[in-house]
Amino acid sequence: MNQRFLEFLKRYDFSFIGSMSAIFLVGILNLYSATHSQTGEGLDALYKSQLMWFLFSVSVAVAISSFWLC
């Protein structure tokens, strides 16, 4: 089992996750710059929503890509 996991890590394309993270970072910075001057309007939920969808998409992407690698 451990050997199989190490083989998976050797074959996995980590640039895919890196590019997703870079796009996410740009999106969060864009969201911050658009909403930082507006306070008290419930805009903090936007960050939480963005983070939730990012984590969901990364987990789905890793699951799908690991399915194709096996």
Q: Classify residue 17: in a domain, yes or no.
A: no
Residues 6+ apart with CB under 8 A from 60: none
Is residue 7 one of the residues assigned to a domain?
no
- Structure pTM? 0.69
Task: Tell whether 53 is covered by a domain.
Answer: yes
Q: Which of 51, 61, 53 is nearest to 18 (CA)?
A: 61
User: Can you give the residue range of the structural domain that contains 56?
Assistant: 44-70
Q: Is the pLDDT of residue 22 over 60?
A: yes
Tell me if 23 is assigned to some domain: no
Q: Is residue 52 part of a domain?
A: yes
36-57, pLDDT tens digit by residue? 776 666 676 787 888 899 999 9
The per-residue DSSP string of the chain comes to: -HHHHHHHHHHS-HHHHHHHHHHHHHHHHHHHHHHTT--SSSTHHHHHHHHHHHHHHHHHHHHHHHHHH-
Residue 57 in domain = yes
The answer to whether residue 4 sits within a structural domain is no
Closest to 46 in 3D by CA, of 61, 60, 27, 31: 31
**48 in a structural domain:** yes
Domains of the chain: total: 1
What pLDDT sits at residue 9? 78
